[in-house]
Amino acid sequence: MRIVIYEEKQDNFYPLVGLVPQFDLRLGMVTIIGHTRLLFKRAEIDMIARPSFGFGRVTPKTATVYLSSRLLLTEGFEIPKSDCLLKVGAERLGFVKVAAPFPCAAEEIAEAAASIKDSRQVKGIVLDRLWDLIVHNETLMKLHFKRLPRKRSTARALHIMGDRRNLHVGRGAEVHRQVFLDLRDGPVYIDRGAVIRPFTTIVGPSYVGADTIVERAKIVKSSIGPQCRIGGEVESCIFQGYSNKYHEGFIGHSFIGAWVNFGALTTNSDLKNNYGPVRLHIGKSEFDTGQVKLGCFIGDHTKLGIGTLIPTGAVIGSFVNFARGGMMPNFVRDFRWMSTDRELDYDIIKAVDTARIVMSRRHVKMSVQYEEMIRAFHEQVCRSD
């Protein structure tokens, strides 16, 4: 089987997709594209994304399934013998193309779908807006645990409540005997090379990514990507990866991009005082999420100084440097430098230099392509002002 995953309505997922293709967003225990790979293990998968990510064109020559990045199928389906749309309810979220011509680029997707009359229903989770990532995270962690390769832990010194079969500890991972794992509400998957240090509590469903270090933390029903540093309290969150929240402080019901750093005691609110639905402010637009508990959404390479307080439903762009402490605004656009005495655009040379240093601390060398993407993204932000 050949599958092509394409970005769709990616603007609905600002500020998380400025430097990451939509299908590379973390959700559950893998990424969106990782989810499709778990479901279709023998499929050949290609991607169509914005040109800056290097996934501009594909060249299918046989029957191909085109899937929106907003659809996470929960069941496979038999490939039909003729072209048809794939729908969840009334919404079109992909299509099957059996005969040529096959769409090769983003601008050809909508035209190809419009020419198809037949349709079939499929089962899956649909991501419409930013907050859907948080809403569906627990469900997908449980689903992914069943499909990921795993082995039953034989460590007897661990403090565990629940069924030990709901625990996986990957190769080379270290879990101290003074760690408490609560498996009653869902599984805990500790990936290869992760380190869980003493006096940590992890409540499932939760995922701790490869080479992440957890230092005396409380992690509740959260997905932590690779090479993070986690301390304090994290509840119902997604960390894309390579981010630092090493100190005391609370982050709840939030999505944290890559290469983000939280200063000590940084804390967010995920519940309004009146217990009403949370509203997100993105630029001049306001969105009623319908969610009573919802925290913040932070783009890549953002740095928050010590004692930062993040309001309920805050949206913070990429390459934000907030060094004031105290309460943040509920919206900060990309590439902003905010200190106690000034607020200005973040100089692109300084932004790239700092990102290069930060990445090197995780032994990741900034590629020429990645630097060019950052600079192109900065130009796009400047043009939109």
Residue 169 phi/psi, 5-degree rounding, is: -120, 115
Binned at pLDDT 50, 70 and 90, residue 78 comes out as confident
Flag the least confident range among 80-84, 148-152, 183-187, 292-296: 148-152
Residues 219 and 338 in one domain: yes
User: pTM of the predicted model, to two decimals?
Assistant: 0.95
Task: Answer yes or no: is pLDDT of 37 > 70.
Answer: yes
Mean local confidence (pLDDT), 169-193: 95
Task: Answer yes or no: is pLDDT of 366 > 90.
Answer: yes
Taking the CB of residue 166, how many other CB atoms lie within 10 A of it?
A: 23
Residues 166 and 232 in one domain: yes
Residues 293 and 374 in one domain: yes
Residues 172 and 218 in one domain: yes
Mean local confidence (pLDDT), 105-117: 91
pLDDT tens per residue across span 306-324: 999 999 999 999 999 999 9
Asked if residue 61 belongs to a domain, the reply is yes
pLDDT at 385 (0 to 100): 73
Binned at pLDDT 50, 70 and 90, residue 155 comes out as low
Report how far residue 276's alpha carbon sits from residue 260's, in angstroms, rounded to the nearest whole number. 29
Range of the domain at 264: 157-384
Task: Answer yes or no: is pLDDT of 151 > 70.
Answer: yes
Spatial CA neighbour of 91 closest among 48, 131, 122: 122
Mean local confidence (pLDDT), 221-245: 98
Residues 200 and 302 in one domain: yes
Residues 104 and 184 in one domain: no
Count up the domains in the chain and report the number: 2
Cα dihedral value 212, 217, 221, 223, nearest 10? -20
3-state SS, one letter per residue, for 5-38: EECCCHHHHCCCCCCCCHHHCEECCEEHHHHHHH
Tell me the percentage of the chain whose pLDDT exceeds 90.
86
Task: Answer yes or no: is pLDDT of 55 > 90.
Answer: no
Residues 212 and 332 in one domain: yes
pLDDT at 154 (0 to 100): 62
Mean local confidence (pLDDT), 146-165: 82
Mean local confidence (pLDDT), 329-348: 94
Task: Answer yes or no: is pLDDT of 183 > 70.
Answer: yes
Binned at pLDDT 50, 70 and 90, residue 156 comes out as low
Mean local confidence (pLDDT), 141-146: 97
Residues 338 and 317: beta-carbon distance below 8 Å: no
Domain holding 262: CATH number?
Answer: 2.160.10.10
Tell me the percentage of the chain whose pLDDT exceeds 70.
98
Asked if residue 143 belongs to a domain, the reply is no
Task: Answer yes or no: is pLDDT of 56 > 90.
Answer: no
Asked if residue 79 belongs to a domain, the reply is yes
Residues 116 and 169 in one domain: no
pLDDT at 163 (0 to 100): 93
Residues 43 and 167 in one domain: no
pLDDT at 77 (0 to 100): 85
Asked if residue 20 belongs to a domain, the reply is yes
pLDDT tens per residue across span 259-295: 999 999 999 999 999 999 999 999 889 999 999 999 9
Strand order in the sheet with 267-268: 267-268, 308-310, 326-327
Domain holding 77: CATH number?
Answer: 3.90.550.30
pLDDT at 157 (0 to 100): 58
- 46 has which bridge partners? 4
Q: What count of residues does the chain have?
A: 385
Task: Answer yes or no: is pLDDT of 198 > 90.
Answer: yes
Strands 336-338 and 343-345: antiparallel
Asked if residue 122 belongs to a domain, the reply is yes
Task: Answer yes or no: is pLDDT of 337 > 80.
Answer: yes
